Amino acid sequence: MKIFPVLVSGVFALSCLNATAKSDNFSYDYGQVGYYFSNDTHVKGGLTFNTSYDIYDHVNILGSYSFSLHSDKKAPDKYKTKTYSLGIGYHMSLDEYMDKTDLFATLGLLNTHTSVTTAGVNRKADDSGRIIALGLRKVLNDKMELLVRMDKPSVPVSDTLFTFGMLYKYSKTTELGLNFNTGANDGSETLNASIRWSF
């Protein structure tokens, strides 16, 4: 999969669109840890880790890792899931049109690993593909930030995901987050509570 040239070309094209729209409202240098609650019949919750680092005025690299902790004890099948992603992002200020608002887009690689155990027999599956995301960040006041985001993966087992979230600035470098995620087609819903540290 020749994804790296596509990532580089995409970011270069985006950076040529508006070389002066540097964001001063948001940090793209952070580490984040969270716990998610799911309505999935197999996986009830798990841990998430996210990080991002600005490598240029408008460009950041980012990665994520999540894994399930609790499966349905009453179900005959025991599920375990792991998800990895690594990508590059572009962000720009929309202050000229919407006060204290950023537009961001990311391109990346996604890998999902699923392990299912039934009557002592374990079956494993790995899927890899691309993931594209587009979203908005909006500052409400000195303490609150809103987020709207869409993730479109090419992995068959992953649905298009819509995220609606908020961040509360607890201190200068620490923020508390709450995100609601819903699948476009499969009816999946998760609630993610997180802590983010800026650096």
Domain boundaries along the sequence of the chain: 3-198
pTM of the shown model:
0.81
- Report helix, strand and coil shares of the chain as percent, to nearest 5: 10, 65, 30
User: Which whole-number Å values give the CA distances from 25 to 92, 169, 194, in the listed order?
Assistant: 10, 13, 20
DSSP helix/strand/coil, 15 = helix
pLDDT of 125 reads 82
What is the residue-level pLDDT of the chain in tens, covering all 199 positions?
A: 444 444 445 544 544 444 444 456 799 999 999 999 988 777 778 999 999 999 988 999 999 999 987 666 666 677 788 999 999 999 999 998 899 999 999 999 999 888 887 767 778 888 899 999 999 999 999 999 999 999 999 877 678 999 999 999 999 999 999 999 998 887 889 999 999 999 8
Total number of residues shown for the chain: 199
- The domain 3-198 is placed in CATH, from the list 3.40.47.10, 3.30.470.20, 2.40.160.20, 3.40.50.1000, at 2.40.160.20
Nearest to 90 by CA among 22, 155, 24, 173: 22
Q: Are 159 and 185 in contact (CB under 8 A)?
A: yes
Beta bridge partners, 155, equal none
Report residue 196 as tokens.
Answer: 């983010």
Catalogue the long-range contacts made by 72-79 (C-beta closer than 8 Å, 24 or more residues apart). 72/41, 72/42, 72/43, 72/44, 75/41, 75/42, 76/118, 76/119, 77/42, 77/116, 77/117, 77/118, 78/116, 78/117, 78/118, 79/42, 79/43, 79/114, 79/115, 79/116
Nearest to 181 by CA among 145, 151, 157, 153: 151
- The amino acid at residue 197 is W
Nearest to 47 by CA among 63, 59, 58, 36: 36
What is the rounded CA–CA span in Å between residue 172 and residue 170? 7
